[in-house]
Amino acid sequence: MITDSTRKYATIKYDRNPLQSAADQAAQWSDINSMTLNTSKSQVLTVSLCKQIDSEPIIIKGTAIEETSTAKLLGVTYDQHVKFSKHKDLRISKSKGAFHALVQLKKAGVDMQSLAQFYRSRISPILTYAAPSWYPQITKTNREKLEKYQRLCL
């Protein structure tokens, strides 16, 4: 049940928080299966289109789990509003070393076919890593920034 909800603000209240119930079940499962649940490495990422999110803290084995606004999963940085701005920035930042090498190769007189091959093998994979999971959701502004950087490299 969601109460006190508007387009910009949401307060989530339940008689019993379903996320807390799921966390309790995960802790119980890990105990039964002799697995250690490391609460210091656990985070809660609440995903919502509302600008401000208030949610109850999740507690596992007496420890409140840290809430975060971004989380990295298999190399993709997710944010709570599903905008992927930080992920786009990280992809561009990670490719800058390869871009610098491309510029140096061009200054050294390497032919265009080899430069294009370098771009396809070193820069493009960095920029497009796991793109099917995030590219369709990025904003028009982020899409334009990413495409502008790709044109610069080309």
In a domain, 124, yes or no: yes
Is residue 64 located within the same domain as residue 12? yes
| 15 belongs to a structural domain | yes
Joined tokens for residue 48: 């919502």
Round to whole Å and give the CA distance between 27 and 79: 25
User: Residues 91, 139: one domain?
Assistant: yes
Q: Confirm whether 136 is domain-assigned.
A: yes
Residue 125 located in a structural domain: yes
Question: What is the model's pLDDT at position 6?
Answer: 58
- Tell whether 117 and 87 lie within a shared domain: yes
Q: How many domains does the chain have?
A: 2
Integer Cα distance of 37 and 61 in angstroms: 9
Domain contains 111: yes
Nearest to 47 by CA among 79, 10, 88: 79
State the pLDDT at residue 62: 86
Q: 113 pLDDT exceeds 90?
A: yes
Q: How far apart are CA 142 and CA 131, in angstroms?
A: 13
Same domain, yes or no: 109 and 63: no
Note the pLDDT of residue 114.
Answer: 93
| Average pLDDT taken over every residue of the chain | 84
Question: Which residues form the domain of 9?
Answer: 2-68
pLDDT at 82: 81
The confidence score (pLDDT) of residue 21 equals 86
Q: How many other C-beta atoms can be found within 10 angstroms of the C-beta atom of residue 71?
A: 14
The rounded distance, in Å, linking the Cα atoms of 54 and 144 is 32
Mean pLDDT of 92-121: 93
Instruction: Report pLDDT digits (tens) over 58-98.
Output: 888 888 888 888 888 888 888 888 888 889 999 999 999 99
Residue 76 inside a domain? The answer is no
Q: 64 and 96: one domain?
A: no
